[in-house]
Structures are given as structure tokens and as C-alpha cells.
Amino acid sequence: MKNKTVDLQTENLGTVSLKTEGLQVTLNTEDTGESTFESFGIRSELLKAISRKGFTSPTPVQQKVLEAGGDADLIVRAKTGSGKTLAFLLPLLQDMKVGERFPRMLILSPTRELAQQIAREAEWLVRFMDLSVVSLVGGLEMSPQLRALREGATIVVGTPGRTLDHVERGSLDTTNVGCVVLDEGDQMLDMGFREELEGILDALPAERRTWLFSATMPPEVRELSKRYLENPTTISLVQDGDQHEDILHRVYMIPSRRRFEGLVNVLLWERPKRSLMFCHTRLESIEMAQRLQEEGFNAAALHGDMTQRERNAVLASFKSGAMPHLVATNVAARGLDVEGVTHVIQLGLPDDRETFVHRSGRTGRAGNEGTNLILLSPLEAGRFKMMLRSTQMKVEWQDVPNLDLIRTVQREVAEEKLLVSQGDSENCTAYIEWASDLLERADPKVLVAKLLEALHSRTAKGYNLSADLERERERRQRSSARPERSEGERRFAGSRPKGTMTRLRSSQGGAKDVGRILNALCSALKVERCEVGAIRLKDDHVMVELLPVALARLEQGRAGLAKWGLFPEEDPVRYIKARGSHEPARGSRDSYERRGEPSKGRYARGKRNDA
Ligand code: ADP
Ligand code: MG
């Protein structure tokens, strides 16, 4: 197939021109008009399901993919919440036969929750096509998955580890799979998924379509995609650093050691109906959720150390609205579509711009407006500005609201309830007699004060933070007047040193605990923690990202590592993800979820032939 260039004219971008050789396809999207699903020739079974769902017209990305579709490999980039799931499902289902009983379509996603969500979306869409959907995710029992596959599931949605497991067991028959979609494609091509992904792709027929979808697509990932995609057509409705017009970004400056107190003040001030908060580590998400509960907020944590059942239950109560605040690791950063999330709150500096974009994109979905709050210390604020340099993103800056402001707003809200709303509800009338009786027997002022106290006993009061913030700011100004910078700042200011992904084989469960591995590396190699980057746990080995000093000491550290049951492989792999965390990704982070996803016997595989 020839290379294609797709020229797109979109509302916000002007012309996007992608120069390659060969055929040029120009899609003028300036006036998309009132397109309907019918006008795209969507088959009747799908139209019926779509109209039951209440969708009237395809979103821009859905239109583009339906137009471009065909047999080509695709790289599709469109903003968060723009309907990418249907954008790949619709054209692929167009070609499928009603009632088929073997796997025809494979969709891979970086997290279990996202895979389950895509499966649910596919389920309502195919209800009139007599096709069934299975989700193959880790952390849940095998038997229902095996049964669904035996009974002839046609659409398979999975996470890489569990999907490869089914391929290797022979329970997933890949011979008729004509298309594979990598949702959140840039993350799927990340080093951490490489082995599973190659194992799965190797097992698929060579004649197939491979589609890559994401809101972000860094240049190095586009380069890497050549390994897996053949002359792909690129459809891009968004560019690096574009503003998502439905999301308002607001930074709150918080004293660095008082992040939790800052969060409480921000919650009391912003009063989000439903908020999704992001932390860096699992431990932090647990602590934050616990402390929020102690302050009277209805909050829970979502992270990779929970069982899948717990994760599903927490997400379900967040979705239903029963539990309005969720504190998550990056396991919830990508793809999750929860209706009514009014606020995303990012605690501290996000790892990189992509993480920032995806986390923010959990709000402002499907045309709704949302607010993205970023809570930063003065030091982090400087780094954040650097992260967003060369982008068009507009960000509001504010100091954390202080106690006096919070008291004022709390008072206004309480008084509105007491004075403005009518006191004639059934419940209220029932109390009137009691109230008159009490007023006769007690001093009204004392009575009201006691009632107010009782009313607010479970409500957070907020913290005094402005003095701390001022002090910290002054300290920073003084220190930035000095020429020399800390190691951390030097790291951030320049490009981050590239880490090298190294495989450590392990014995006796040596690769089961990230903290232990970090300790082992630091003590055996005699390096600081910041010399160790990402740590990815596998079944019988671990992939660690070593920064230059740690890598240089690997040979002399062999004996030390052996004592911890860790054995470095001879030939470390150059780490391709040059962008990314400016702080090393520590073990307990959930950049994505793969624990407990067995993936055995894959080392025997040769590398995929790039041709
Ligand atoms: P993305 O993958 O781009 O982040 P999703 O596919 O998760 O976005 O879709 C975001 C939301 O928009 C979902 O709730 C989805 O059901 C809804 N949606 C998708 N297509 C349409 C449409 N054509 N009309 C209305 N809503 C849609
Ligand atoms: Mg998506």
C-alpha cells in the first residue's frame, strides 16, 4: 500500500499537513454540517443501537475515521472525551458478519478498567448484530473468560498480559482476527508493554489492520509505530499543546509541606460535585483518601494494590454518585469515562505533559465543561511553567484560598440553606412545634449556636496556609537569586537523562516488591534513589530503568544484587521513552496496571519482523 497524507482542516487548528510520499487524501472538515449516522451508510443494526442510546450525530473524530476507514493502518489522534471508542468500533463493525462465532476484532487497552469500559460500549453497540463481547483482564477469574471465548465471542477487549496468556493457552484463537486496535496507543507502545504486545501481534495474521488511537502521540512513539504499522494513514484532530476548549485549568499554589491541608481548602472553596484526584503513589492515594474521610469528605482510593473486585466496586460507587470523591493513581489517568466529573484535581506536578493531558481529560467529556485543578508548591509551579512552555494552554493561577475566605463561603452556603430556602417542607413542618417549645425554654442565641455547632461538627473547617505560602515563596526567591541550582532543578531544566531499560532476572520471588527492588539497587550499586527510574514487575523478572550512574555500576554491583536474588541480563535495552518523568518513577506508582497479569513463556519468542 502507498503512503498517504491526510490534510485536515479543523475548527481550531487550521490545516494540519502531514508530509509523506505517495497518495494524498485531503479531508476538508471546515463545515461538518449536520451529519447523521445514516449519511455515513452505517448499517441498520448499528443505527438501531445508536438511536436507542440517544446519539444523533457522529462526533468529528467518528466522521473522520468513517471517511478514511478502509483497509489502511491508522494513527488517530483526537482530544480526550471526543468519542474515539465509537470511532474505531463503528467502522470495524460495519464489515462484520451478523452472528459470527469466533474472534474477529481485538482491542487492547493499558488498564483493566478501560478494557472493561470499552467492552461495555461494544456490548450495547452490537446488541442487534448477534455478536458477543469478552473482556480479558487480569485480576479476575479465568473461567468466565474461557467460557465466553468457547461460546464464540467475536469482539475481544483485553489488557496485554491477560490477552497474551489466552493466546499462549490457545484459548484465544487469533487466526481470524482481522483488526487490532491499540487504544491509548502511545502508552501501549511504551516499553512496559513491549513484550506482551509483540507476543500478541506475532500471533495475529499478517494480513490485518492495526489502528492506534490516543489524544497524545509524542514524536518518538510515531517513529516507533513504524515497527508495528504498515504505511499508516494519520488522522490528527489535535496537536501538542492545544487547549481543550471545554476544560478550564487552574493552578492553586500550596505550601509544599501542607499539600493535604491545601487540598482540603481547595475542596471547601471549589465545592466540586464529583472530583477525581490524582496522586503519584499508591500510598499517597490511600493516605489522602483516609484523611479526607476523617475530615468528613466521602472519598475512597483507587490504586493498583487493590484487588480487581475492590477496584471495580470503588469505581462503580464513584460512577453512581454514591461516593463523590475518588483519589486515584495514574491507573485512572487514561480513557476512563465517568459522567459528571466536575473537577479533576492533580496533586503535585504531573509526570509529563501527556499525563497532564490525559488526567485533565477525565473531565470536560462529550461536550460538557469541566475544571482541572493543579495543586503545586512554589518550586513545582516553576517546573510546571516549563512543562507547558511552547504550548498554547491557558492556565489560571491562584494562591490557595485561606481560612477567612473559606469561612465566608461556608457561612454563605449555610445561611442560604437556613434563610433563603423555604421552611415548608414536610420534614421541616414536623420540627416547627418542637422548635417553638425549645424557644420558650432556652436563650434563642445559645440555641442557634448549639444547632450550628452540631450542623458543622462533621464538616471540615479548613486551614490557615497563607503565612506558610508567603514564607516559602520568599525562601525560593532568595535561593533563586543564587546561581547554583539543586540536582533536581538541573535535571528538570535540561532534558532528562535517558534511562536504560535493563532486565533483572529474579529468584525466590525477588521481583515481587518494588520497594525491595529499589532498596536492592540503591544498596548494591551504591547510588541515590534518583538514579533509578521506572520499575516494572514481571512474573519472574523485573525491568528497571537505570540512569547513567547506576548503569555504570551495574557490573561491579552484580554480586551485591545476587544477594537480593536479582541477576542483571547482559545486554540492557536502550530505553526509548526519552520524554517523561522528571522525577524518577518510583515503584509504587501506577503508570498503568499490569500486576497479577501472568504472561508466561514469552522469552522464547523471537523479535517481531519489522518488514
Ligand atoms: P475518548 O475515547 O475520545 O476519550 P469516549 O469514546 O470515551 O471518548 O467517549 C466519550 C463520551 O462520549 C462517552 O460517554 C460516549 O458514550 C460519548 N459519545 C461517543 N460518541 C458520541 C456521539 N456520537 N454522540 C454523543 N455522545 C457520544
Ligand atoms: Mg478513549
Which range has highest mean pLDDT (33-37, 105-109, 412-416)?
Answer: 105-109
Same domain (yes/no): 155, 71: yes
Long-range interactions of 472-477: CB distance < 8 A, separation 24+: 472/255, 472/256, 472/377, 472/378, 473/253, 473/378, 476/378, 476/379
Global pTM?
0.78
DSSP single-letter state for residue 34:
S
By most ligand atoms within 8 Å of CB, the mutation choice from 55, 125, 360 for ligand 1 is 55
The residue whose CA has the least distance to atom 2 of ligand 1 is 84
By most ligand atoms within 8 Å of CB, the mutation choice from 52, 53, 79, 86 for ligand 1 is 86
The residue whose CA has the least distance to atom 16 of ligand 1 is 83
Question: With contact defined as beta carbons under 8 Å apart, do 356 and 350 qualify?
Answer: yes
CB atoms within 10 A of CB 132: 17
Range of the domain at 151: 37-236
Cα(27)–Cα(432) distance, integer angstroms: 68
44 Cα: distance to centroid of ligand 1 (angstroms): 20
The residue whose CA has the least distance to atom 1 of ligand 1 is 81
Query: Any residues with Cβ below 6 Å from ligand 1, and which?
Result: 55, 58-59, 62, 78, 80-86, 337, 365-366
The residue whose CA has the least distance to atom 24 of ligand 1 is 55
121 alpha carbon, closest ligand = 1
Among 207, 236, 265, the domain boundary falls at 236
186 Cα: distance to centroid of ligand 2 (angstroms): 12
| pLDDT attached to residue 483 | 56
The answer to whether position 421 is within a domain reads no
Which cell numbers hold the place of 471?
514564607
Long-range interactions of 429-433: CB distance < 8 A, separation 24+: none
| Banded model confidence at residue 74, pLDDT cuts 50, 70, 90 | very high
Which range has highest mean pLDDT (159-163, 414-418, 472-476)?
Answer: 159-163
134 Cα: distance to centroid of ligand 1 (angstroms): 20
Quick check: 494 pLDDT over 60? no
State whether the Cα torsion 11-14-20-22 is positive or negative. positive
79 alpha carbon, closest ligand = 1
- Where residue 590 sits, what CATH number does that domain have? 3.30.70
- Say which residues have a Cβ less than 8 Å from residue 114's Cβ, sequence separation at least 6: 183, 184, 334, 335, 336
Same domain (yes/no): 162, 230: yes
Same domain (yes/no): 189, 251: no
4 Cα: distance to centroid of ligand 1 (angstroms): 27
564 Cα: distance to centroid of ligand 2 (angstroms): 40
59 alpha carbon, closest ligand = 1
Same domain (yes/no): 395, 252: yes
- For 190, list phi and psi in degrees, rounded to 5: -60, 150
The answer to whether position 62 is within a domain reads yes
By most ligand atoms within 8 Å of CB, the mutation choice from 40, 59, 184 for ligand 1 is 59
336 Cα: distance to centroid of ligand 2 (angstroms): 7
The residue whose CA has the least distance to atom 25 of ligand 1 is 55
The answer to whether position 465 is within a domain reads no
The answer to whether position 476 is within a domain reads no
167 Cα: distance to centroid of ligand 1 (angstroms): 30
The answer to whether position 176 is within a domain reads yes
The answer to whether position 325 is within a domain reads yes
CB atoms within 10 A of CB 151: 10
- Where residue 81 sits, what CATH number does that domain have? 3.40.50.300
Cα(138)–Cα(528) distance, integer angstroms: 34
Same domain (yes/no): 6, 118: no
86 alpha carbon, closest ligand = 1
Same domain (yes/no): 313, 365: yes
Cα(41)–Cα(29) distance, integer angstroms: 18
Quick check: 549 pLDDT over 80? yes
The answer to whether position 473 is within a domain reads no
Number of domains in the chain: 4
86 Cα: distance to centroid of ligand 1 (angstroms): 7
Average pLDDT over residues 474-494: 61
Closest atom, ligand 1, to C-alpha of 79:
3
Same domain (yes/no): 50, 191: yes
The residue whose CA has the least distance to atom 20 of ligand 1 is 83
358 alpha carbon, closest ligand = 1
Cα(274)–Cα(365) distance, integer angstroms: 14
Which range is least confidently modeled, 46-60, 222-236, 539-553?
A: 539-553
Among 369, 385, 404, the domain boundary falls at 404
Same domain (yes/no): 252, 377: yes
Same domain (yes/no): 44, 29: no
- Say which residues have a Cβ less than 8 Å from residue 31's Cβ, sequence separation at least 6: none
Looking at per-residue pLDDT, the higher value among 57 and 611 belongs to 57
584 Cα: distance to centroid of ligand 2 (angstroms): 27
Closest atom, ligand 1, to C-alpha of 337:
7
211 Cα: distance to centroid of ligand 2 (angstroms): 13
Cα(529)–Cα(312) distance, integer angstroms: 33
Quick check: 195 pLDDT over 50? yes
365 Cα: distance to centroid of ligand 1 (angstroms): 8
| pLDDT attached to residue 4 | 43
| pLDDT attached to residue 482 | 66
| pLDDT attached to residue 510 | 56
Same domain (yes/no): 113, 201: yes
Residue of 245, 240, 177 whose CA lies nearest to 211: 177
Average pLDDT over residues 251-277: 97
Among 404, 424, 441, the domain boundary falls at 404
Closest atom, ligand 1, to C-alpha of 366:
12
**Which pLDDT tens digit goes with each residue over 36-67?**
999 999 999 999 999 999 999 999 999 999 99
Three-state SS at 24? strand
| pLDDT attached to residue 485 | 47
Percent of the chain predicted with pLDDT > 90:
62
Same domain (yes/no): 148, 124: yes
Which cell numbers hold the place of 82?
471526543
Quick check: 562 pLDDT over 70? yes
Same domain (yes/no): 11, 70: no
Quick check: 260 pLDDT over 80? yes
| pLDDT attached to residue 492 | 41
Quick check: 588 pLDDT over 60? no
Three-state SS at 5? strand
| Banded model confidence at residue 571, pLDDT cuts 50, 70, 90 | low
The residue whose CA has the least distance to atom 21 of ligand 1 is 83
| pLDDT attached to residue 508 | 63
84 alpha carbon, closest ligand = 1
Residue of 360, 394, 350, 351 whose CA lies nearest to 80: 360
Closest atom, ligand 1, to C-alpha of 58:
23
